[in-house]
Amino acid sequence: MDTIVDIFSSYGWELLTKTGEHMYISFAAILLGVIVAVPAGILLTRIPNMADRLISFVGILQTIPSLAILAFFMPILGVGMTPAIIALFVYSVLPILRNTYTGVKEVDSNILEAGKGMGMSNMETIRKIELPMALPVIMAGIRFATVYLIGWATLAAFIGGGGLGDLIFDGLNLYQPELIVLGTIPATILALLTNWLLTILEKRLTPSALRDAT
C-alpha cells in the first residue's frame, strides 16, 4: 500500500495531465473521423460504383503500421499532438465509413419511397429516415474506432504527442514497471468507460421503433 501511495504522490499530477492529453488526442481524432467518414459514407451510397474501390483503398491505409503513419506525418507536420491526431484520424476512417455506408445502404427501400411520396427532399430523407435508421450500425463503427484509438494513442509519445504513452515509455526506458502500469491501466479504463458511454448514447439516439424491434 505504501508503494502505491508513493507512486501516486510522485506521479499523481503527471498522471492527470497525461490522461487529459490522451483524451484530447483520442477524441479529437475520432471527432475528425466522424465529421469526414459519416458524410462520405452517405455519399458513397449515392455512387455505389466507387464505393468498393474507395473503401478498399481506405482499408489498405489501415494495413500500414501505425508507427509508419506517425513517421510519415513528421516531416510534414513536425512533432507534437497535431501529427498524432492526424495519424489516428486515418485509422478512424475505415470502420466509421464502412458502417455508415452499410447502415444507410440497408435502409428499407419501401420506407425511402414512402418518404419521397410524402414530398421529402433528398436532405430530409437523409436526416429524418436514413441516418436515424442507420444509427445503430454507425454507432457500432464509432465505438469500435474510439476504443482502438484510445489504445493506439499511446504511440503518440514516440513523436512528442504526449498522453499516457509518455508514462509507459518512461517506464520502459527507466526500467520502472510501476510507470508502465500507471500508464496502461488508465488507458484501459478510459477505453472501457468510453465504450459504455457510447453504448448508452446509441440507445438514447436510436428511434424507439427500432429499439422495440430489437
What is the spatial distance between Cα 49 and Cα 116, in angstroms, rounded to a whole number? 23
Nearest to residue 134, comparing CAs of 32, 65, 38? 38
With a cut of 90, say whether residue 208 has pLDDT above it. no
pTM of the entire predicted model:
0.85
The 3 state secondary structure assigned to 112-159 is HHHHHHCCCCHHHHHHHHHHHHHHHHHHHHHHHHHHHHHHHHHHHHHH
With a cut of 70, say whether residue 101 has pLDDT above it. yes
Residues 6+ away with beta carbon under 8 Å from 202: 135, 136, 139, 140, 143
28-164, CATH topology level:
MetI-like fold (1.10.3720)
From residue 209, how far is each of 32, 100, 120, 125, 133 by CA, in Å? 30, 20, 20, 17, 9
Per the CB < 8 A criterion, the answer to whether 104 and 51 are in contact is: no
What pLDDT digit, counting tens, does each position of 4-61 carry? 566 666 777 888 899 999 999 999 999 999 999 999 999 998 888 888 888 888 888 7
Q: What pLDDT is recorded for position 142?
A: 93
Mean pLDDT for the stretch of residues 134-163: 89
With a cut of 50, say whether residue 1 has pLDDT above it. no
Give the cell for residue 168.
509507459
